[in-house]
Structure 1
């Protein structure tokens, strides 16, 4: 009987998704970054002798994924000798009739959960793994309201593409209530859905965590990205977060005062930004500088500052922001009013104009339903503009 079980948890790869915030052509680089990070996950499983790998949903972007990508993931997972792999299909890659998961023959060490909670017992590890997957694009019923583990002496673990919330207020995405987790009897609950790592949480005696997306895709997903690793025993759980993301999206805010729109102050602002970053960081990460202050003063600084710093950063976006109050939530909403990219020209493609307009609407969408609606509109619009799913893989 194993004294403890070593596991690793990750989610949100979204392979083949075209949605990466950055300069034109950036998607190819970020997709390469994603594969590099995924390979790092596999290497970590080998080096740390991970016995169970949890993939908690959104591994693929269903509308855009290629068969070759799914087959590559399946082949990669087959190389993890000695590691049992459990997948809970999520909101973006549900186990529907045309699911990405049906495009490959999965190796024997992979188990993909379907609808309804089921379990797999692993006697050699003294573990029972529970799970359920999405089988539609919208969740009609909660994953569990009165679920309780079978008390058989094994360590009970569950993976779900879901989130914990104290209120049942989501449409199409029903959260797990804290009292359900407390009553479940689980030792550990591996969740997937959040953009960022949630930290190590506890509900009753159950430890739970969401690892967040494996790689950041936009400035809205700043902060570290990676995986959760842990060791489980019958009465304890040791869990930690490991950052694996290749690049960061970093935002900095500068306030422009009256009479500061002169060359000396622009040079001073440039020097301040350079002093706060290393040359390595400026070539690796993506930066956005938010300028706030009197409109005329800021307008006079945006383009000169962009040109002055263009050669120092691999990607830099200088944005003039205007604060406005959302009447429904009472919170401050920052809306980009002008963006100059690293070439300093400020000319946008039709697709970029469309994306910017949708982003403005997303800034004003204060609930999950409206945010998801905006994202769906963006997918449909980009597909119509020729940036949708590519069926010809050659």
Structure 2
């Protein structure tokens, strides 16, 4: 049996614009800590190989300290072999950070077109390829064939698509099927995909190590893969230090700022160390929602919190129906009905009469 750890899309030294200097610095350190935790988990799990599927770095600004840190962490798990496939954020070229330092002997960085590394004593062939530019419009998996009688594992950065085009190494399920690989470890998409299969070839995205915005909610982590007799089993391990949580909280029955704060705290519960975005919803009356005041009151209770007011003013239908207008007649007639569908029709009908967009 072969055991593998897969991770990718680490994005070291992400600038985290808009979070402020303090939070940004902490989030950069979070990535470092989670990366180390992930690599050391490979050692604990006694994996044979570690596969890093690209975008190890975020952009063209990486601190030398970060490079040294990464190299030291990877060296610490030697003799476990580490294979890296550079992606669109960290392409391997003349300006590449991969060329700025000498990497540990247990690290192999793929540099260009598909190449293979054979591990004869394990009957394994590792296939890998690198982005050399930010955009790759042709599939890098084309014409790649696994060797018969061996466990063929590919590590690649790319965009698995069902149709259309992509600037990031477009890969179709047919490409995967024709590759004759046992398993393809893929990076680029930041959400864990689950274990997928096309033909006889298994493949999957491990997702990012840490979510970096509220577009990347949920658990983040790594994959532990077990490969035996052309059968692949996997386990997703959630390792991120913080999650991004985007939550709607209904404050319809709240009448003070303090009550709103209490509702937020009870709704979020034990996730106070995460990145929180609260969207206040519901119908309110006799209260002004002041996002800045709520955030100030909660700042010592949460690591990071955003407040968005999406509430609407409660409508006094009884008063409106007295109007001598189309709106008044509509409300008067609709209030005679007493079922859920009529309630929805009343709400959307009034929105239409007032010229609001209905989605």
User: Do both share a fold (TM > 0.5)?
Assistant: yes
Query: Where in structure 2 are the equivalents of 1:238-277 lying within 5 Å?
Result: 238-255=233-250, 257=252, 262-263=255-256, 266-277=257-268
TM-score relative to the length of structure 2: 0.80
C-alpha displacement at 1:6, in angstroms? Answer: 0.8
**How far apart, in 1, do the equivalents of 2:6 and 2:161 lie?**
20
**How far apart, in 2, do the equivalents of 1:112 and 1:10 lie?**
15
Q: 1:319 aligns with which of 308, 314, 334?
A: 308
Assess if the C-alpha contact under 8 Å between 1:298 and 1:320 holds in 2.
no
> Equivalent residue for 1:61?
58
Assess if the C-alpha contact under 8 Å between 1:20 and 1:217 holds in 2.
no
Assess if the C-alpha contact under 8 Å between 1:181 and 1:206 holds in 2.
yes
Matched, 1:41 2:38: yes
> Equivalent residue for 1:281?
271
**How far apart, in 1, do the equivalents of 2:50 and 2:18 lie?**
29
Q: 1:167 aligns with which of 155, 163, 170?
A: 163
The secondary structure found in structure 2 opposite 1:230 is: strand
Query: Where in structure 2 are the equivalents of 1:49-128 lying within 5 Å?
Result: 49-128=46-125
Assess if the C-alpha contact under 8 Å between 1:299 and 1:320 holds in 2.
no
Which structure has the larger Rg? 2
**How far apart, in 2, do the equivalents of 1:168 and 1:117 lie?**
24
**How far apart, in 1, do the equivalents of 2:286 and 2:163 lie?**
45
> Equivalent residue for 2:173?
178
Describe the shift of the 1:85–1:248 C-alpha distance in structure 2 as closer, same or farther (beyond 3 A).
Answer: same
Q: What is the root-mean-square deviation in Å for CA atoms of aligned residues?
A: 2.3
> Equivalent residue for 1:142?
139
C-alpha displacement at 1:176, in angstroms? Answer: 0.5
The Cα offsets for residues 149-172 of structure 1, whole Å up to 9 and x where unpaired, read as 121x210110101121111322x2
C-alpha displacement at 1:300, in angstroms? Answer: 2.9
**How far apart, in 2, do the equivalents of 1:85 and 1:120 lie?**
12
Describe the shift of the 1:301–1:293 C-alpha distance in structure 2 as closer, same or farther (beyond 3 A).
Answer: farther
The secondary structure found in structure 2 opposite 1:239 is: strand
Assess if the C-alpha contact under 8 Å between 1:200 and 1:240 holds in 2.
no
Unpaired runs of at least 5, structure 1? 324-394
Moved over 6 A (4+): 294-298
The secondary structure found in structure 2 opposite 1:36 is: helix
Q: 2:23 aligns with which of 17, 21, 26?
A: 26
Matched, 1:300 2:279: no
Assess if the C-alpha contact under 8 Å between 2:155 and 2:184 holds in 1.
yes
The secondary structure found in structure 1 opposite 2:260 is: helix
C-alpha displacement at 1:140, in angstroms? Answer: 3.5
